Structures are given as C-alpha cells and as structure tokens.
Structure 1
C-alpha cells in the first residue's frame, strides 16, 4: 500500500495541497496566463473539485483544478507525480478532453458551441524524455505541414525536471519550486506563502486527516480482499491439480471443505471431468 503522507509532509506536489493553493483565484489565473502566454479578464470555479460523470456506466473523472474564463474557455490543471505505462498519460488527456467536451456541450447544441479547452499536466518527471520543460500538443495534418485542425483543443505537459532560458521566468521558477527548490521571484514566493497559509489552516488540516483515514481504511479493505482472492485462487489451483492427478472428488471435497458439487462444476469448467 502506498504510504499516506502526514499533513506536515505535504508539498505543492501533492494533489490535495495543490488544489487548495489553486483556489487562490489570483495565483491560479496568473499561472494560467504565464503558461499559455494569454490574458484573462476573470476566471470562475464551476466546482471545487470538478467531477464529470456522463453516463452511469462510464468512467468518471475528477479534475484537480477546473476553471473557466469570462469568454468560456476551459482550463484543467493537473498535478502528476507518476508516469503511466503504455502512453497512459497521453491517453488520459484524450479521455479528459472527451469528457470535458461532453460536459460543456448541452444536449441539442451545435458543435460550434464547444469552447477552447486547455488541459495542463504539471509533471514531476519528463513525460517524453526529450529534456524540454514544456510540451504543447495540438492536432495537425500529417500530409501537409502547417495545417492545423483548429479544433481549439490544446494539451500541455510541463516538466519540473526541464529548463530553458526561453521559458517564461515565472513558469521556470514555478517548475523549480515544484521540483523541491527554494521559492524564487515574487510570484513563486506568493505561491509558497499560500502553501504555508493553507497548512496553518486547522479546518483544512482536519479535512485532510479525515481523507487520509478514509484512504487508509479503503486500502486496508482492498488488501484484505486481495488476500482473500489470493487464498481462493490457491485453493482452486490445488483442487484442479488433485483432479488432474486422479484424486477422488469426495476426498478433495473433504480436505478442501467444499461440496462435491463444487468440485464437479470446477472440474467440468476446466475440462478435467
């Protein structure tokens, strides 16, 4: 089980604290402006931690920081501390984009109503191993260079391990701060001040402790379930091995403490009877 950090150990890298810090509207807006090199008049938070659940049988997503500006543009900012196998991180952005679009578009609306959307992953690792501090992706034509699809969907991966003198100074300083370095510059010092303010807030601390206890309980239940499943699998393998060796069903049932009918069903299912 992954260890749940104590409250005192939390840093900007931890989703819980990152979300709370980005509730500071001024800091959140400024960070978005600097990353995207755009100006924003105002932002709003549709939900504290946006959950999108389109259908009962679909996979819901929880977004760390989900905001909209006064023109309807949508911004999702995620803190990512773990790279995923088989290009999982990139596919996660694809799924997030689809869910965000379905959430934004009202039933019967024309597709032209889809507003520009930006998914920004702040990574504590280099997702593409090219040493860049920022990777920006938009849909482009393969056959003809220079032709963009203009679907107004942008995905950005920031890399706290990367650096470039061409990157905005505040974004450079922020990435160093995410990587555990000292707060440099006015903006990042304000972020650090907000981190310290949040960590001194007793109600937020209690909220985290409650969440941590619930996560520990869920992990413990999961481990117990896993152990039970492991024991069941071991029992099944033993029964099948005994059947294969020609041991009588009645004898297997006696020692495995199961019914003869269960042995018969298991044997037929695995083509041993």
Structure 2
C-alpha cells in the first residue's frame, strides 16, 4: 500500500495536485491540443463534481479530468503512476469508454450522436515496454490492413520515460517534467508556476490534509477490522480444540454444547468427522 505523502512532497505526478492544475482551462486545453495536434476553440467542464474528482481508489467509477470542446468532442485525462497486472490499464480504458458513451447518449438518442472521444493516460512508466513516448490506439480490422472501424474512440498512453524528436516540443518537455526533470519551455514553466501557486494556497492545503487524514482513518479501520477477524479466527480454533478434547474425555455432548455455545448437532457432526463418536 502506497504511503500517503505529506503536502510538501506532492508533485505533478500526484493525482490530487494534477487534478488541481488541470482545472486551469488554458493549461488543460493547451495540453490536449499538443498531445492530439488539434486546435480547440474552448473547453468546458460539463460537471465539476464528476469531472474533477479527487480519486484515492483505483476502483473509483469517476473520471479524473473530463472535458468537452466546442464541437462536442470529449477528453478524459488521467495520471497513472502504477502499472496494473493482467493488462489492467487497457481494460480500464475499455471501462472508461463505456462510461463516457453512456454520458454522451441520452435515452432514445441515436448512435450517430456519439461524438469523438479521447482517453489519455499520462504514465510515469512504459506501459507497453516498447520504448515509445506515446502509444495511440484505435480499433482496426484484423483481416484487412489499414481498415479502421471509425468508431471515433481513441486511447492514448504517454510514457514519461520515453523520448522522441518527432514529439511536439511542449509534450517532450512536459514528459520530462512529469519524470521529475526541470521545467523547460514556456508551457511547462507555466505548469510549474501553477503547481507552486496551488501549493501556496492554504485552503487547498487544508483540503488535502483533510483527505489524507480521512484516508489514514480508513486504512487504520481496515487494519483494526483485520486484526479483529484474526482474533475471532483464533477464538474459533481454540474452541474447536476444547470441543475435541472434551469429546476424547467422554464429556456429554449436551454439556460441551452448553459451554462451547454451539448446538448439539454441531458437536455430533464434529465428533463423527474426527472419529470420536
């Protein structure tokens, strides 16, 4: 289980801080434009509570940074600091895609109303171990090379450990910054300035500290619950040993049942199973 960081330790890699930075429309829009090499007039956050959500649990059903542009195209941006076994990240994009499509279609709408969607994972590791700084996936036909399904669903995995001169300069600098390097270029310097401004914001610091304390409380509760389960298992084992010992000594089943607080039928079944009756 990952250690809960102190406020001073947070960087752009940390989900809480990344989400706060992405609430800056100008920076969020520029990042999307540079990753996809498109031009966007304006982005909006359709539902703040759903779009920018502080997510501690990898099983959360919420999308991190969920925005739309003026054409209706949808973008979900996620910071990923841990790879997942059994192709977990890829399956996560499949799940997110379903969530996005349900959000885009109202009851009775035709499928033509589905707008293009982009799920973008910014990874601090190489998710596919091929050395590329960016992996773009779209649905293609297996039998006919070059034939795309054209369902307008795109998944992109950025790799902060990778590099290529073919990348947009801002994205190259951004990936280095995510990897812990110095802020280079106007865009990444603006990101870094936003990070520093957020970390000076007292209310945001209190928000993080409250969340951190709640998470610690939940973890502690889980440990206490686990210890209590262990104690209960120990008590059951001791009771079983006592019952078997009393049966071996010829104590009446009714007496054993009374003191062990179990049924006579349970004593009988246990005795037969252990060849004591």
Please give the range of the TM-score, normalised by the shorter of the 2 chains: 0.7 to 0.9
- The CA RMSD over aligned residues, in Å, is 2.8
- State the distance in 1 between where 2:264 and 2:87 align: 42
Instruction: Supply the distance in 1 between the matched residues of 2:150 and 2:264 (Cα, whole angstroms).
Output: 60
Are the aligned partners of 2:51 and 2:64 in contact in 1 as well (CA < 8 Å)? no
Query: Cα offset for 1:103?
Result: 1.5
Query: Structure 1's 262 and 191: CA in aligned 2 closer, same or farther, altered over 3 A?
Result: farther
1:222 aligns with 2:260: no
TM-score norm. by structure 2 comes to 0.86
Cα distance, 1:48 vs structure 2:
3.0
Partners of 2:25 and 2:274 in 1: CA distance: 66
Counterpart CA distance in 1 for 2:48 and 2:115 is: 21
**What is the CA–CA distance in structure 1 between the aligned matches of 2:78 and 2:242, rounded to whole Å?**
52
Q: Distance in 2 between matches of 1:241 and 1:85?
A: 41
Contact residue 49 and residue 65 of structure 1 kept, 8 A:
no
**What CA deviation, in whole Å up to 9, does each residue of 1:165-199 have, x standing for no partner?**
11111101001000000001110000000000010
Contact 1:49 1:66 in 2 (8 A): no
Deviations 1:123-151 (A, max 9, x none): 01111111110110000000000110100
SS at match of 2:208: helix
Partner Cα distance (1:123, 1:134) in 2: 10
Distance 1:244 1:44 in 2: 69
Pairing of 1:3-18 with structure 2 (within 5 A): 3-18=3-18
Question: Where do 1:1-273 residues align within 5 Å?
Answer: 1-50=1-50, 61-236=61-236, 258-261=260-263, 264=266
Number of residue pairs the alignment of both structures matches: 263
Partner secondary structure for residue 61 of structure 1: coil
CA gap 1:97/1:259 in 2 versus in 1, 3 angstroms: same
* Alpha-carbon distance change, 253 to 65 in structure 1, aligned in 2, over 3 angstroms: farther
SS in 1 for 2:48: coil
SS in 2 for 1:260: coil
Match of 2:55 in 1: none
Note if contact 1:122-1:158 (Cα within 8 Å) is conserved in structure 2.
Answer: yes
State which drifts further: 145-154 or 42-51.
42-51
Moved over 4 A (4+): 234-254
The Cα shift of 1:258 comes to 4.9
1:233 Cα offset (Å): 3.8
For residue 237 of structure 1, report the CA deviation from its aligned partner: 5.4
Name the CA distance, whole Å, in 1 between partners of 2:44 and 2:103: 16
Residue of structure 2 equivalent to 1:56:
none
Determine the C-alpha separation between the residues in 1 that align with 2:117 and 2:132.
23
Q: Is the 8 A contact 1:139 1:150 kept in 2?
A: yes
Q: CA contact under 8 A between 2:51 and 2:63: conserved in structure 1?
A: yes
Q: What CA deviation, in whole Å up to 9, does each residue of 1:207-228 have, x standing for no partner?
A: 1111111111111111111222
Instruction: Return the alpha-carbon distance in structure 2 between the equivalents of residues 104 and 114 of structure 1.
Output: 6
